[in-house]
Amino acid sequence: MKIDVLTLFPDMFSGILAESILKRAQENKKAQINIYDLRDWTHDTRRTVDDKPYGGGPGMVIKPEPVFEACDDLCKENTKVILLTPQGKKYNQKLALKTSKYKHVVLICGHYEGFDERVRTLADVEISIGDYVLTGGEIPAMVLIDTVVRLIPGVLGEECSLQDESFNDDMLEYPQYTRPQNYRKMSVPEILLSGDHEKIKRWRKKQSLKRTKERRKDLLK
């Protein structure tokens, strides 16, 4: 999968792309992630990307030209263009899974007071990571990259199960334990020590349901 990011702050991405699973996914050629500076598609010496809003008001608005020209250069026939904006469709695990199946995505990160409205016509989908406003689309783009790349087949090791994790089947994950068996008067449930895999499977399913009922009733249909 190829992910191209258009941003005014390319350096924000260097940390997360150079560590852990995202680093390995790139090394193993499962994901190619390119960060592009939107200013590279400007034509004036000051590399201007924003301007005052028509009609007045505070802040600056990202101009359409650099975004359109960047898309002209980066987008191919099979490209999905994703705009990160608080006005977008609310992101969740299902949308992450759908996105992970695309061959090529271009992520457009807004900043300041947002984009010129005409930029919206470039987008196949607008995504919001939640009902709150961040200073820009960079952190939402990182959230999207992180959630999507780990779902690409072969990125997580064989032993790492995507099947059991939270939000699969709209359920939260069951509780997990590791050694020591007893710690500060808290002990590991006996059943997990039983070696009876069928029983453990049933227990985990029950715990998963209990936890979802307690914490996220909205997920249960």
* Contact in structure between 115 and 67 (CB atoms under 8 Å): yes
Among 75, 86, 170, 203, indicate the residue that binds ligand ADE (CB under 6 A).
86
Q: Does 132 bind ligand ADE (CB under 6 A)?
A: yes
* Contact in structure between 62 and 116 (CB atoms under 8 Å): yes
Q: Does 188 bind ligand ADE (CB under 6 A)?
A: no
We find the least distance from the C-beta atom of residue 124 to ligand ADE, in angstroms, to be 15
* Contact in structure between 49 and 8 (CB atoms under 8 Å): yes
Choice between 85 and 208, CB closer to ligand ADE: 85
Q: For residue 177, count other CB atoms closer than 10 A to its CB.
A: 13
Q: Does 54 bind ligand ADE (CB under 6 A)?
A: no
* Contact in structure between 110 and 46 (CB atoms under 8 Å): no
The DSSP bridge partners found for residue 90 are 128
Comparing CA positions, the residue from 161, 122, 127 lying closest to residue 141 is 127
Comparing CA positions, the residue from 51, 77, 45 lying closest to residue 64 is 51
Number of residues that bind ligand ADE (CB under 6 A): 13
Q: Does 53 bind ligand ADE (CB under 6 A)?
A: no
Q: Does 85 bind ligand ADE (CB under 6 A)?
A: yes
Q: Does 147 bind ligand ADE (CB under 6 A)?
A: no
We find the least distance from the C-beta atom of residue 137 to ligand ADE, in angstroms, to be 4
* Contact in structure between 8 and 61 (CB atoms under 8 Å): no
The DSSP bridge partners found for residue 115 are 62
Choice between 133 and 186, CB closer to ligand ADE: 133
Q: For residue 84, count other CB atoms closer than 10 A to its CB.
A: 27
Choice between 86 and 175, CB closer to ligand ADE: 86
* Contact in structure between 30 and 145 (CB atoms under 8 Å): no
Choice between 115 and 174, CB closer to ligand ADE: 115
| Stretch of residues binding ligand ADE (CB under 6 A), selected from 14-22, 129-137, 158-166, 183-191 | 129-137
Q: Does 9 bind ligand ADE (CB under 6 A)?
A: no
Q: Does 112 bind ligand ADE (CB under 6 A)?
A: no
Q: Which of residues 157-176 bind ligand ADE (CB under 6 A)?
A: none
CA 86 – CA 67 distance, rounded (Å) = 18
Among 129, 142, 145, 149, indicate the residue that binds ligand ADE (CB under 6 A).
129
Binding site for ligand ADE (CB under 6 A): 84-86, 110, 128-130, 132-134, 136-137, 140
